Amino acid sequence: MRVVASYVLKGSVQAILSASVPAVLSLSAPFLLKLILIYFSGIVIALVTLRMSPRQGFLVLFTSVVSTMLAAQFFGLNNASGLDLWNTIYLWVLIWLAASVLQTSRSLVLTLETVGLMAVLTILAFFVLVNDPIQLNMQLLQPVGLVLNHPDSGLSPAEVTNIISSAAKLLAGSVVTYTVFGVVICLFYARSWQAKLFNPGGFKQEFMTMRFGRQVGLISIVLMLSLMLSSVIGQQASLMLMNVSMVFAFLFVIVGLSVVHGLVAQYENKGFLLVGLYALLIMLSKIIAPLLMTLALSDIWVDYRTRFRKK
C-alpha cells in the first residue's frame, strides 16, 4: 500500500484519477467489489486531505462526485441505484469533513466526535423533516419484504410484516451508523498510509490514546437515561433517541478498542490478546460490544491506561 499511497500523493492529477476511476467503476460492480471501490475512493479523498490540504481534498471529492453522477446519468440508474449513489456521496463528504478536522486539529478523538455530531444531526433532520419517517422506511424496505414473503423463506405474512415494521423503526440509525463505519475505516486507513510514509508508528500512537471528553460522557449518560424513560418522552422522541444511540454505541466501541489496545500494548503477547479480542467481538458481539462501550465510558473518569501503566 506504500506504493499506492506514494502514487496518489504525486500530484493533483494522480489523486483525482485514483479517486474518480474507482468511483465510476463502482456503479456497475457487484456488491463486494462496489464496496471496495467506494471505500478506496474515500481513502484517497482522506489521504489527499490529510497530507496536502482540505482544499486539495475537496477538489478530489468534487471531481469524484461529478464524474460519478455523470456516469450514473449515462448508464441510466434506477431509483434504488440512485439512492445508493446519494449514500455514497454522503459517505465521501463525511470522509472529507473528518479528514479536514483531523488535518487541522491533529486530534483523532475530536474527529470522531465531529463525525458523530454530523451523523446525529442527519438522523434528527430525517425525523423532523419527513412527515412519516416510519412509513417511508417501510416503503424503502418493500424489496426486502418481497424476498421474505417467498414461500421458501418459511415465514408467515404476519411474521414478515413484524420484521419489516421493526426494521423500519431503526433503519435511519442503521444506515447512518453503517456510513459512520465506512468513514472510520477510510479515515483510519488513510491515516495509517500517511503514517507509514511520513511518520512511522504515528497512527498507532494516536489510536491507542483516544479518549472521549467528559461532555461526551455526560451526554451519553443523559441519552441512556432518556431511553429508560421512553414512556415519558413520547414515541417519536424515543424513536429518534434509539436511532441516535446506535451512532453513540458504535463510536464508544471504537474508543473501547483503543483503550484495550493501549492496555495490552505493554505486554509481550499483545498480538495474541488482540486477535482473541477481535475474534470474540465477531462471535460474541452482543456481549463484547457493550463491555467495550462501558470501558470507553468509564475511561473518561478512570483513565485506565494511566492507572494500570506498567512501571
**pLDDT, tens digit (0-9, with 9 covering 90-100), for 209-222:** 999 999 999 999 99
DSSP assignment letter at 27: G
**Of the candidate ranges 89-103, 155-169, 274-288, the one whose mean pLDDT is the lowest:** 155-169
Q: Which three cell numbers stand for residue 200?
A: 512511522
Averaged pLDDT for residues 217-240: 86
Averaged pLDDT for residues 222-228: 89
Averaged pLDDT for residues 122-129: 93
Task: Tell me, yes or no, if the pTM score tops 0.85.
Answer: yes
| Cβ pair 183, 95 in contact under 8 A | yes
What does each C-alpha distance from 51 to 108, 199, 246, 263 come to in angstroms? 15, 11, 31, 30
User: What pLDDT does 260 receive?
Assistant: 94
User: What pLDDT does 270 receive?
Assistant: 79
How far apart, in whole angstroms, are the C-alpha atoms of residue 228 and residue 190? 39
Entry field: residues in the chain: 311
User: What pLDDT does 189 receive?
Assistant: 96
User: What pLDDT does 207 receive?
Assistant: 94
Q: Which three cell numbers stand for residue 135?
A: 412509513
User: What pLDDT does 269 receive?
Assistant: 76
Q: What is the DSSP string of 89-151?
A: HHHHHHHHHHHHHHHHH--HHHHHHHHHHHHHHHHHHHHHHSSSHHHHHHHHTHHHHHHHTSG
Report the Cα 294 to chain-centroid distance in Å: 20
For all residues of the chain together, what is the average pLDDT?
Answer: 90
- Residue 147 confidence class, pLDDT cut points 50, 70, 90: confident
User: What pLDDT does 31 receive?
Assistant: 87
- pLDDT tens figures, 58-115: 999 999 999 999 888 887 665 556 678 889 999 999 999 999 999 999 999 999 999 9
Domains and CATH numbers, the chain: 1-208 (1.10.1760), 209-311 (no CATH)
- pLDDT tens figures, 36-50: 999 999 999 999 999
Give the CB-side neighbour count of residue 197, counting CA atoms within 13 A.
Answer: 19
How far apart, in whole angstroms, are the C-alpha atoms of residue 215 and residue 211? 12
Q: What is the DSSP string of 155-187?
A: --HHHHHHHHHHHHHTHHHHHHHHHHHHHHHHH
User: What pLDDT does 142 receive?
Assistant: 84
**Of the candidate ranges 22-26, 103-107, 144-148, 183-187, the one whose mean pLDDT is the lowest:** 144-148
